[in-house]
Each structure stands twice: as structure tokens, then as C-alpha cells.
Structure 1
Amino acid sequence: MIRHILFIQFTEDVREKDVASIFMMFREIKSKISGILSVECSKNNSPEGLNKGFSHCVVMDFVDEHARDAYLPHPEHETLKQQFVPMIKDIIVLDYEV
């Protein structure tokens, strides 16, 4: 299984309703692309203050590397990116094998 994590810093003009809309698109993509096991999206609530400006994250689990690799160029992912990328000030993407 491959875990795909996005640490997100949104631009200052992005509203919570915009974030909610993008997170809904992430959750819905699971039913549109095979090989996605789960999708979780949330806002940071750590009291440690070590998030370095990253306020939200998305965690996706894929059955394997092939599923993740098929997701990346998939038209549904491209549609999501068209909405998502303009909202991003900074992002970290980390994948690892579980």
C-alpha cells in the first residue's frame, strides 16, 4: 500500500468554504479512480506550533504504486488540480510504502 500525503499552505485569500469544496473533490475522487483505498482531509489542530505555516493536509491510501502512478495523470486528478493549484501558497507531497 502507498500512502500519499499533501501538507498544504493555502493563499491568504482562500476561504474555508473554498477549502471545504476542494476537500469534497478529493473525497469524491475515490469513487472515480480505481485503486484508491481511502481519502482523509483536515485542518491542523496541533497545539505544538511546528506546522511551519502548513494548515491543512490530505492523506490518500492507494493499493500499490501502480494505482498511485495511474492516479497522477488521470483526467479526474487533472480536473481537481485545475481548481486546487491556484489556491496553494506552498505544498509538500510525501509518499511512502505502508
Structure 2
Amino acid sequence: MIRHVLFIKYKEQASETDIATSLANFEAIKSKIDGIESVEWGLNISSEGRNKDYSHCVFMTFVDEAALHHYLPHPEHEALKAQLGPIMEDIIVFDYAL
């Protein structure tokens, strides 16, 4: 299994509706692309102040590395990125094998 972890910093002008849409798109992609075991996301609630303005984390689990490589160029992933791109300030992507 492969974990695909995203830390997202949204632009200040990103509306709550736009952010909610992007997170819903992440949740929905599991049913659109084979090989995704799970998708979850969360809002940073740490009181440590070390998140460097990254407000959200998306945590995806893929059945294997082939599934991740199938997902990356997939048209549904491209559509997700197209919606997210204009409202995102920055992103950190981190993948690891279990």
C-alpha cells in the first residue's frame, strides 16, 4: 500500500465554498479511480503553531504503487487539480510505502 499525503495552504482570498468544493472533490475521487483504498482530510487544529500556514491535510491510501501512478495522470485527478490550483497558495506532497 502507498500513502499519498498532501498539506495544503489555501490563498487568503479562497472562499469557504471553494475550499469545501476542493475537499469534496478529493472525497469523490475515490469512487472515480480504481485503486484508491481511502481518502480523508482534516483541518489543522494544532496549538503548536508549527504548520507554516498549511491549513488542511489530505490523506489518501492506494492499493499499490501502480494505482498511484494510474491516479497521477488520470483525467479526474487533472480536473481536481484544475479546481484546486487557483485557490491554492502552496502544497506539499509526500508519498510513502507501507
TM-score normalised to structure 2 length: 0.96
Offset at residue 48 of structure 1 (A): 1.0
Matches within 5 A, 1:1-98: 1-98=1-98
Identity in percent: 57
- Runs of 4 or more, structure 1, over 4 Å off, are none
Give CA-to-partner distance per residue, 1:44-96, whole Å, 9 cap, x none: 01111110111111110000000000000001001111101111111100000
Distance across 2 between alignment mates of 1:72 and 1:44? 25
What do you get for the CA RMSD once the two structures are aligned?
A: 0.7
Distance across 2 between alignment mates of 1:39 and 1:96? 15
Report the count of equivalent residues.
98
Distance across 1 between alignment mates of 2:89 and 2:20? 17
Greater displacement, 38-47 / 62-71: 38-47
Distance across 2 between alignment mates of 1:34 and 1:13? 34
Q: What 5-or-longer segments of structure 2 have no aligned partner?
A: none
SS in 2 for 1:52: coil
Q: What 5-or-longer segments of structure 1 have no aligned partner?
A: none
Distance across 1 between alignment mates of 2:13 and 2:48? 25
Query: In the alignment, residue 38 of structure 1 is paired with which amino acid?
Result: S
Offset at residue 32 of structure 1 (A): 0.4
